[in-house]
Amino acid sequence: MTLFAFLCYVTFVIIALILYQRNFIICDDLIISRPRTLIPLNTWKNMFYHVDEVWVETPDHSRLHAWIIYQPDPLPKTTMLYCHGNSGSILTTMNKLHAFYTKLHLNLVVFDYHGFGQSTGYCQNEQTLVDDACVIYNRCIVENPRLQHTAVTLYGVSLGGYAVLGLCSNPDVVIQSIVLENTLFSLDHVLQRSSLFKWIPSCWYFLHVSNESWMYQIPTNTPILFISSKHDPILSYSNTIGLHHIALKRDMKHVHCLLFSDPSIGHINAWKSLQSHVFFSEIQHFIEKYSMFKVKNVF
């Protein structure tokens, strides 16, 4: 290979990484093939008391797929809006959601972002995640007569942390608390530690909105539970440390951390590990402690 050909090849690779970096980071159904056939609702009625399957239209005329999972009457006072992680979907989180449902006794709202699972459209960037969470929050909780008077806990897993913190910074959103499980400090933070992107200047990244910036926008009285693992092979727990540092810097009074040091606990498997009892008891205690809280961004 001549020097010219080599330089052309390297230039091509760099341009491809820059132009298609979104495809390396946000892995939805356009990137990873998954079954798109509808699962009969009756299949899940055997697992839950009652499920409403909802299709929510977005401003760009895409359709988001969501499930509203109710506890038996009288309904609990808390509803959890669950924002799943990268390359996930409602179906891939069903076992975990069932554990939340039976152990924490919460109403659950779970959905797929643009292009994920059975939702249509294309997830452009982090802001799409936030906008989708906002649409689901309004349609499935605020406008839902059965849930509109319940307290809302936002739960973000990995990439879903973007949706949670972005939603919490919205002045029209009223919540009780948020839980962040192995989420990102910022995509820049992750990319700069990636073998693919670490040598590309951060000013060339297309995905710039970060949880770091949203952490400075959420109300300082927001109760937050950070969950992380020291042996997470996907996202270093330094991401959680970074977000926790901002919370302390802002003098947030209701910040809690759950850090697992067990080597068998990786990215998002604490719920089914030998430490699962700790995982669920800490979440339950956290939610119950702030059951009377109402957090609203006044900025």
CATH code for the domain of 218? 3.40.50.1820
Report yes or no: 91 and 39 within 8 Å, Cβ to Cβ. yes
Q: What is the pTM of this model?
A: 0.83
Report yes or no: 184 and 158 within 8 Å, Cβ to Cβ. yes
Q: Is the dihedral of CA 80, 252, 113, 279 positive or negative?
A: negative
Burial 120-154 (b: 16+ CB within 10 A, else e): bbebbbbebbbbbbbbbbebbbeebeebeebbbbb
pLDDT value of position 39: 60
Residue 132: alpha-carbon gap to chain centroid: 11
The answer for residues whose C-beta is within 8 angstroms of residue 183's C-beta and 6 or more apart is 156, 157, 158, 159, 160, 161, 162, 164, 211, 235, 239, 240, 243
CA–CA separation, 292 vs 287, rounded Å? 9
Give the chain's residues under pLDDT 50.
10, 13-24, 29-37, 194-199, 203-206, 299
Residues 87-135 have pLDDT tens digits of 788 888 888 999 999 999 999 999 999 999 889 998 877 888 999 999 9
Q: Provide the domain limits for residue 217.
A: 3-296
What is the number of domains present in the chain? Answer: 1
CA separation (Å) from 142 to 83, 139, 252?
A: 17, 6, 27
Helix, coil or strand: residue 248: helix
Helix, coil or strand: residue 78: strand
Rounded to whole angstroms, the maximal C-alpha distance in the chain is 74
DSSP element (H, E) containing 108: strand 107-111
The answer for residues whose C-beta is within 8 angstroms of residue 84's C-beta and 6 or more apart is 90, 92, 93, 110, 112, 116, 157, 160
Report yes or no: 28 and 115 within 8 Å, Cβ to Cβ. yes
pLDDT value of position 46: 80
Residue 273: alpha-carbon gap to chain centroid: 20
The answer for residues whose C-beta is within 8 angstroms of residue 210's C-beta and 6 or more apart is 126, 184, 185, 186, 187, 188, 189
For residue 203, which amino acid is it?
Answer: C
CA–CA separation, 89 vs 187, rounded Å? 20
The position carrying tokens 């990786």 is 266
